[in-house]
């Protein structure tokens, strides 16, 4: 894990205590968007909402031995990169972390995250780092959102969790990063639930009906709606729910897991085919409600274009695509004529990947399994493509890679701090 340090703007003679008000000068941001500064006593302080170069007032809310956590009170000297957040919920909702910064500044921060990861974690002094490529869309790009229900102070809420809290929900009236206009739908959904006095999933009591509401969108047409319940509803309630939804496919999912786990115990197609189709770089992909697919299709085309170009330079005959999801990268590489094998742990994604290859008239092989426990029937490959989850590679997967020693490796990562 990378640690960033900054110096305080003033000094104090007494030790910090919880509730102390500090003036700090922030120099860096962490990958999670948290600003990082150093107290007068030399301790690292984390706080949200501040930008590098800003002098701020903040109150200390946690004082650990190695670090402190503070809450931003006031920006005394704002950064020239500071802008008014687009979303009215930004300071409370945990969905975004950098809307207070101009987009070009955000790109600069992220490029620095990558450079620091290579120098700090990778212990690489000199390396080529290409300029960061911006997304074609700053807002309205996200094609999937999963919102949560809660009932707090007798009020039904539908929205996203505050950062670091899964017990509470910020009631949303808008979401500028989402590609679907959900405001009227949310009002109708809450009215529907309140009229029937429906229960909400209790994370402590492990009971209740309403859990989550997932929406996926596509360039090709209608969205996909998935209402996730902890307990079944009456036929009348389900029919009335379906009637209030806009045109699109609709699913009903039962998830009885106690924790905040994406599990499907039962699933019913209420309307349509029960899946989504998307077009990406000239290929059509089928996406189930729970299958992984990149959430920014505009940026995805740029990203996968780089992967295909890099694979062409390798001139590989046999390619292994690990964490292949619904087979997007595998299908794009198979279109170039390579023999491609994909490995993915999620059975729904594997089924989608096989269908996607058939749908596009491509030949690619897919295996269900965990990358840390590689299937035995895989061929010797020239190139391995990795696109792991945010947590990075499992240590056993890293061991397997070191033993396999492929000639070429392409690593797609959404978190440069992991490996």
Q: Could you say which of 274, 304, 319 is where a domain stops?
A: 274
Q: Assess whether 185 and 210 both reside in one domain.
A: yes
Cβ partners under 8 Å of residue 238, min gap 6: 252, 270
Are 367 and 302 in contact by the 8 Å Cβ rule? The answer is no
Q: Assess whether 311 and 376 both reside in one domain.
A: yes
For residues 139-158, average pLDDT: 93
Residue 377 falls inside a structural domain: yes
Identify the H or E element spanning 330.
helix 328-335
Q: Which two tokens stand for residue 68?
A: 């402190």
Mean pLDDT computed over every residue of the chain:
89
Are 195 and 214 in contact by the 8 Å Cβ rule? The answer is no
Determine how many CB atoms are found less than 10 A away from the CB of residue 336.
Answer: 12
Are 163 and 151 in contact by the 8 Å Cβ rule? The answer is no
Question: pLDDT at position 329, please?
Answer: 97
Buried b (16+ CB within 10 A) or exposed e, 36-66: bbbbbeebbbbbbbbbbbbbbebebeebeee
Are 223 and 250 in contact by the 8 Å Cβ rule? The answer is no
233: pLDDT confidence band, cut at 50, 70 and 90?
Answer: very high
Question: pLDDT at position 9, please?
Answer: 37
Q: Assess whether 72 and 103 both reside in one domain.
A: yes
Q: Assess whether 150 and 210 both reside in one domain.
A: yes
Residue 23 has pLDDT above 70, yes or no: yes
122: pLDDT confidence band, cut at 50, 70 and 90?
Answer: low
192: pLDDT confidence band, cut at 50, 70 and 90?
Answer: very high
Q: Assess whether 269 and 296 both reside in one domain.
A: no
Residue 284 falls inside a structural domain: yes
Q: Which two tokens stand for residue 291?
A: 């299958």
Question: pLDDT at position 5, please?
Answer: 32
Residue 4 has pLDDT above 70, yes or no: no
Q: Assess whether 119 and 151 both reside in one domain.
A: no
15: pLDDT confidence band, cut at 50, 70 and 90?
Answer: low
Domain limits at 28?
1-83+91-129
Measured CA to CA, the distance from residue 209 to residue 193 in angstroms comes to 10
For residues 254-280, average pLDDT: 89
Question: pLDDT at position 3, please?
Answer: 33
Residue 361 has pLDDT above 90, yes or no: yes
What is the CATH number for 198? 2.40.50.1070
Determine how many CB atoms are found less than 10 A away from the CB of residue 329.
Answer: 27
292: pLDDT confidence band, cut at 50, 70 and 90?
Answer: confident
Determine how many CB atoms are found less than 10 A away from the CB of residue 236.
Answer: 9
264: pLDDT confidence band, cut at 50, 70 and 90?
Answer: confident
Would the CA dihedral through 211, 158, 390, 299 be positive or negative? Answer: positive
Return the active site residues: 414
Are 385 and 311 in contact by the 8 Å Cβ rule? The answer is yes
Residue 24 has pLDDT above 90, yes or no: yes
Q: What is the pLDDT of residues 42-98, one digit of tens each?
A: 899 999 999 999 999 999 999 888 899 999 999 999 999 999 999 999 988 988 889
For residues 112-137, average pLDDT: 84
Task: Give the count of domains, the chain.
Answer: 3
Cβ partners under 8 Å of residue 394, min gap 6: 370, 371, 372
Residue 192 falls inside a structural domain: yes
Query: pLDDT > 70: what percent of the chain?
Result: 96
Q: Assess whether 304 and 393 both reside in one domain.
A: yes
Residue 307 has pLDDT above 80, yes or no: yes
Q: Assess whether 284 and 259 both reside in one domain.
A: no
Buried b (16+ CB within 10 A) or exposed e, 163-198: beeeeebbbbeebbbbbbebeebbeebbeebeeeeb
pTM, rounded to two decimals: 0.88
Residue 2 has pLDDT above 50, yes or no: no
Question: pLDDT at position 335, please?
Answer: 97
For residues 94-110, average pLDDT: 93
Question: pLDDT at position 30, please?
Answer: 83
Is residue 390 packed enough to be buried (19+ CB in 10 Å), middle (13-18) or exposed (0-12)?
Answer: exposed
């Amino acid at each position: 894990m990378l640690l960033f340090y900054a110096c305080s703007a003033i000094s104090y003679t007494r030790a910090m205590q919880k509730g102390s008000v500090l003036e700090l000068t922030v120099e860096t941001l962490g990958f999670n968007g948290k600003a990082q500064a150093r107290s007068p006593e030399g301790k690292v302080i984390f706080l949200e909402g501040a930008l590098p170069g800003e002098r701020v007032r903040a109150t200390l809310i946690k004082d650990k031995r190695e670090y402190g956590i503070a809450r931003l009170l006031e920006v005394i000297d704002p950064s020239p990169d500071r802008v008014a957040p687009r979303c009215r919920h930004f300071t409370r909702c945990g969905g975004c972390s950098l809307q207070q910064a101009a987009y070009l500044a955000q790109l600069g921060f992220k490029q620095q995250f990558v450079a620091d990861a290579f120098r700090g974690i990778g212990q690489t002094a000199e390396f080529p780092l290409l300029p960061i490529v911006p997304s074609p869309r700053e807002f309205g790009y996200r094609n999937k959102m999963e919102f949560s229900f809660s009932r707090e102070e007798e009020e039904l809420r539908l929205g996203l969790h505050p950062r670091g809290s899964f017990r509470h929900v910020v009631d949303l009236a808008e979401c500028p990063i989402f590609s679907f206009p959900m405001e009227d739908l949310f009002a109708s959904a809450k009215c529907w639930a309140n009229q029937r006095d429906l229960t909400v999933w209790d994370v402590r009591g492990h009971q209740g009906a309403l859990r989550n509401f997932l929406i996926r969108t596509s360039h090709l047409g209608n969205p996909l709606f998935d209402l996730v319940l902890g307990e079944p509803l009456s036929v009348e309630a389900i029919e009335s729910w379906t009637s209030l939804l806009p045109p699109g496919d609709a699913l009903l999912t039962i998830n009885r897991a106690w924790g905040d786990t994406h599990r499907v115990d039962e699933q019913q197609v209420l309307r349509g085919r029960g899946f989504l189709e998307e077009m990406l770089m000239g290929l059509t992909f089928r996406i189930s409600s729970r299958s992984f697919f990149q959430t920014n299709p505009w940026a995805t085309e740029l990203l996968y274009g780089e992967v295909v170009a890099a694979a062409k330079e390798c001139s590989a005959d046999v390619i292994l695509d690990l964490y292949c999801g619904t087979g997007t990268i595998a299908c794009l590489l198979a279109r170039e004529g390579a023999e491609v094998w994909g490995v993915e742990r999620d059975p729904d994604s594997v089924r989608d990947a096989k269908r996607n290859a058939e749908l596009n008239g491509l030949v690619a092989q897919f295996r269900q399994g965990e990358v840390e426990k590689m299937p035995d029937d895989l061929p010797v490959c020239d190139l391995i493509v990795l696109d792991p989850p945010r947590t990075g590679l499992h240590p056993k997967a890293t061991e397997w890679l070191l033993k396999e020693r492929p000639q070429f490796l392409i690593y797609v990562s959404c978190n440069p701090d992991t490996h």
